[in-house]
Structure 1
Amino acid sequence: MISNAEASFQSKVDLNCDFGEGYGIYTFGQDEKLLQYVTSVNIACGFHAGDPKAIRQAVASAAEAGVAIGAHPGLPDRLGFGRREMAVEPDDVYDDTLYQIGALGAFVRAAGTELRHLKPHGALYHMAGRSEAIADAIIRAAKAYDPKLRIYGQHGSLLLRAAELHGLRAVSEVFADRTYMADGTLTPRILPGAMIQSRNAALDQALRMVIQGVVLTPSGDVTAVQADTICLHGDGPHAASFAAAIHDGLTGAGIRLERPE
């Protein structure tokens, strides 16, 4: 992670969620309920989750709702839902990322809409935050597909730095339903307290990140963040209620919910 820059108040913010992560007869998450609250979605592209039918249906639902559509490529690890790190070479990351963007892009084009952004999934997201080579491979794939793609990455990550170096729009992401470590990274899921269980706590964190530009760790440390977009995971049992609370709380505080331009 690179050092935190001084963050500023955001008068508008994007609210995104991971989307279309079912497979075959299996459904996952609360996609349809979330669509009324979010302004962008990150659609699984078939590696960690998703299949052709799931992708087509996710694109159709998102297009009908008028939310921004992004690619959510992951590692080739369906069994681990893309959350286990793998010893992948940068060339493989480039090929796999471009392949997944292309698969989603075909359905987006067929639906007559636009692919606006890319956000890596799970372990690939965190690997790209720490590794210049992995980050560069993902950004080169995104740029090869469409240099107008916006890149969603965790505040302070090497992925955002790589996007800026390649001339792509970097969108700094924060998390409403995850706790943070003192260095600004997310608390690993394997540790207790990694997920925020209270919707009021999630709303408080979202408001603090947008209005004050900081996040509080469970131990009381204060870390600066830039909240261009807020991620809300769709796989939690209370995802829809969290989304409703955060949507209403942000708009009630005078913050506009808009997809990044």
Structure 2
Amino acid sequence: MKAAPTDQLRLLDLQGMDTRLDQLAHRRRTLPESAELERVEARLRELRDLVVAAETERSDVERERAKAETDVAQVRDRARRDQQRLDSGQVTSAKQLSDLQHEIASLARRQSDLEDVELEVMERLESVEERLAGLVAERDRAEAERAEVAARRDAAWSGIDDEAATTADLRGTLAGQVDAKLVALYEKVRADQGGTGAAPLRQRRCMGCMLELTTVDIGRIAAAPEDEVLRCEECDRILVRTPESGL
């Protein structure tokens, strides 16, 4: 392929812009803020699940407390009614009096047992509510942290995207100034060679594969016409001659 030496030199500028675009894309994918955000979001999901579980547990314990309070109230009401009957003097039979006194004593023991159950349930409820309050506070802090990290990531993305857009515009303008066939060859080689399609020959070394050329290769390049498009024998990239080639 033949191409004007100036067009070949422009390939190096084009390569520089493509390299910068690749660097920006890599930086965008690997921002520390993105990894930090993933960590915060994972913790936030965990905390939300824990909050839901604690709220469910609280509801269950609240139902237990309501039942315990009802049980105590029922026994207390019955004991009060029995005591009123006993105190009224309406029960005169010795057996009925004995039975009533026995029932009042049994109800007192039953009430004491139920009040112990109620106290235990209330203590569990207090513990669950404290744990829930701690989880909610931690969840809220995680949500605030997520918003802050996301804002930093978005700001970094914005800066990267702005530079990438400016570079892409300049790249498009420059590509339009280079022979279309040369650009097409460059794009193909760049795709085949992991992002580098053209490299300068500097001090007899291909700056694409960083290998020093042989004496035979140097002789071939020195004898080639200025408009001939050269390729590195080792890496197959377009090799651009410059004043620093050492020919």
TM-score exceeds 0.5: no
Length-normalised TM-score, structure 1: 0.19
Going by fraction, where is strand more abundant, 1 or 2? 1
Higher helix residue share: 2
Q: Which protein, 1 or 2, shows the higher relative CO under an 8 Å CA cutoff with sep ≥ 6? A: 2
